[in-house]
Chains A and B, each alone.
Chain A
Amino acid sequence: MTAPVKKGRAQGLLQRNNEAVARFVFLAAACVCVLCVALICAYLFATALPALAKIGPLQFLGGVRWDPNRNIFGILPMLVGSVCVTGGAILFGVPVGLLTAVYLAKFAGSRTAGVLRPLVSLMAGLPSIVYGFFGLVVLVPLLRELLGGPGRGKSILTASILLGMMILPTIIGVSESALRAVPGSYHEGALALGASHERSTFFVVLPAAKSGILASIVLGVGRAVGETMAVVMVAGNQARLPGGVLEGVRTMTANIVLEMGYAQDLHREALIATATALFVFILLINLLLARVKRGDRA
């Protein structure tokens, strides 16, 4: 602002104007994402709440039957479906992911880590439709041959295994950086007290990285709950309460993607309400994540 002073006040004013305009443009751009969130909330809730009032909140969230032809809309089976499949994914994904993260952070030599890390990011980059296709042509026939069951291969178990694979990169990436963030002195202290490398890693470093690991699991839950295309291809999609892990199940995401194409009137609104329930679910998970992260800093 000092350089162009010689050229007169007009130009200085012009430049100051430019600065102000630019500042405003950047500010406006930054507000776009706030606007996006506001729009999403407004449009989802504006459709969902009236539908909820028509169906009855208890009927909607607690109803065990989903029968659009008779205008019966209970999403409890889908809620249970999402929870089962996500729980299964955590069961399969977390142990493998966490141990792989420990391996990468504390055990791998630089050469093995140099091979494994790109493989993990490759896994993170695969489109969900490719996972779904793999599940459909490999996992479904495999589980049908091995275990059979009423779902004929398309079941809670299949979806859980596939989702467990899909959340692996998230778990590995976030847990590994949490493990790396633990000060080296913890590890060395344990070694100096006579613990082996393995014991020190598992009983000193791992507990110290607890909140970061928890954050990775919460992120994994978020990804598993929101996953659509892969689940829809392997879960069987029957809209009823499942009786066992070998039965097919429908998740909230699957419910939307399967029926939105032809839904009309209240049916359509009920589907949007399903999406809103999913949205609220995800917001709660994000809130949990924020708390976990804050716990890290304290």
Chain B
Amino acid sequence: MKKPDVLSFLLRWLVRAAALVTTVLVLVIAGYVLINGVPQLKPSLFALKYTTSNVSMLPALLNTLMMTGLSLFIAAPLGAFSAIYLVEYAKRGNRLVKVIRLASETLAGIPSIVYGLFGLIFFVTALKWGYSLLAGAFTLAMMVLPVLMRTTEEALLAVPDSYREGSFGLGAGRLRTVFTIVLPAAVPGILAGVILAVGRVAGETAALIYTAGALEELVKSPLDSAATLSVHMYHLAGEGLHVKESYATAVVLMVMVLGINGLSSLAAGKMSKGGKCAS
């Protein structure tokens, strides 16, 4: 082995140092939140009722679940159907397809605060829904639509063409082929996309402040205002009166979102393994 020159030596250590910096940063953020937050977790923080003296996070947590469920209920079928159109129906080089792709790329780039503001103008004011769970869920649905479209598209593209040919060969129509052959094979990939979207929705703040409002109570109807966990945390941290509770909320939020993302990569991993078996 040749003795490396000075420049090579420097470059190698530079690269290693950068990797170390990245590692340390992740560990510091996650570690700091965990170490300071876990001791602050008390049963009283999970009381069913939010009061000014006991800033319970349970209502916000349950609101987050409902918000996530509702927005995915709206966006997931739309995303899946769009992807089915793009992959299974549209002809190559179709001009409409180009427009759709351009639109979904544009949607993916829009900052969440702009979504929030649009939600305020359109859902809250123009449609007169007020600050509500419904307005928030629709805003978030728009926001995660491109994510769902892209992941479903990838999952459908990963299904080998021989599946479709086999199905057509046996006399099935396109619709039947899609629903009985292609979709079941693509389920893990689609699921991974859905879970990824759940993670994004659960951690979102800026798009919700002016659409879902800040009422710290369990929603009773879709037209009620509903603060989610991240909005709850924004208010706690902004007021600066409940530092301990902020730490605790940060932990719950972080663990929840990271857990969801972990599930997503697990599902995606299953997909690639399934693909290997099939080929």
Contact = CB atoms under 8 A, between A and B. Distances in A.
A260 interface: yes
A47 B110 contact: no
B225 interface: no
B210 interface: yes
A256 B18 contact: no
A96 B149 contact: no
A228 B5 CA distance: 46
Given A122-B258, A125-B199, A228-B112, A19 B173 contact: yes
B8 A278 contact: no
Contact of A99 (B15, B78, B253): B15
Interface string B82-100: 1011101110000000011
Contact of A34 (B12, B99, B115, B120): B99
B117 interface: yes
A186 interface: no
Nearest to A222: B109
Interface stretch (B41-49, B54-62, B216-224, B229-237): B229-237
Interface stretch (B21-29, B158-166, B181-189): B21-29
Interface string B1-37: 0101101110110111111011101110110110010
Contact of B261 (A29, A40, A125): A125
Most chain A CB within 10 A, of B18, B104, B230, is at B18
Contacts of B117: 44, 256, 260, 271-272, 275
A260 B120 contact: yes
Given A43-B126, A134-B33, A168 B25 contact: yes
Nearest to B18: A99
B23 A29 contact: no
Contact of B86 (A30, A44, A95, A271): A30
B111 interface: yes
Contacts of A126: 29-30, 203, 254, 257-258
B209 interface: yes
Contacts of A172: 22
Interface in B221-267: 230, 233-234, 237-238, 243, 246, 250, 253-254, 257-258, 261, 265
A21 B16 CA distance: 57
A138 B258 contact: no
Given A107-B15, A228-B113, A272-B117, A30 B126 contact: no
A213 to B, nearest CB: 14
B121 interface: yes
Contacts of A40: 110, 114-115, 118, 142
Interface residues of A, number: 89
Interface in B36-80: 36, 77-78
Interface stretch (A70-78, A145-153, A196-204, A241-249): A196-204
A181 interface: no
Most chain A CB within 10 A, of B36, B84, B85, B126, is at B85
Chain B contact residues: helix, strand, loop or mixed = helix
Name the interface size band of chain B.
Answer: 35 or more
Contacts of B19: 99-100, 103-104, 107-108, 112, 116
Contacts of B253: 127, 129-130
A41 B210 CA distance: 19
Contacts of A26: 81-82, 84-85, 88-89
A123 interface: yes
B271 interface: no
A102 interface: yes
Interface in A181-208: 196-199, 201-202
Contacts of A233: 237-238
Contacts of B209: 257, 261
B108 to A, nearest CB: 9
A23 interface: yes
Nearest to A26: B85
A100 B22 contact: yes
B277 interface: no
Nearest to A200: B8
Most chain B CB within 10 A, of A27, A108, A202, is at A27
A279 B110 contact: yes
Contacts of A253: 111, 113, 206
Nearest 7 pairs of A and B residues by beta carbon: A226-B111, A127-B203, A99-B18, A29-B81, A3-B171, A26-B85, A198-B8
28 contacts: A2-B171, A3-B172, A18-B173, A22-B178, A23-B174, A26-B81, A26-B82, A29-B77, A30-B86, A33-B145, A37-B103, A40-B114, A96-B21, A99-B17, A99-B18, A106-B15, A107-B12, A119-B26, A125-B261, A127-B205, A127-B230, A129-B205, A130-B29, A132-B237, A198-B9, A199-B8, A275-B113, A282-B111
Interface of A: 1-3, 15, 18-19, 22-23, 25-34, 36-37, 39-40, 43-44, 47, 95-100, 102-104, 106-108, 112, 115-116, 119-123, 125-134, 136-138, 165, 168, 172, 196-199, 201-202, 222, 225-229, 233, 253, 256-257, 260-261, 271-272, 275, 278-279, 282-283, 285-286, 290
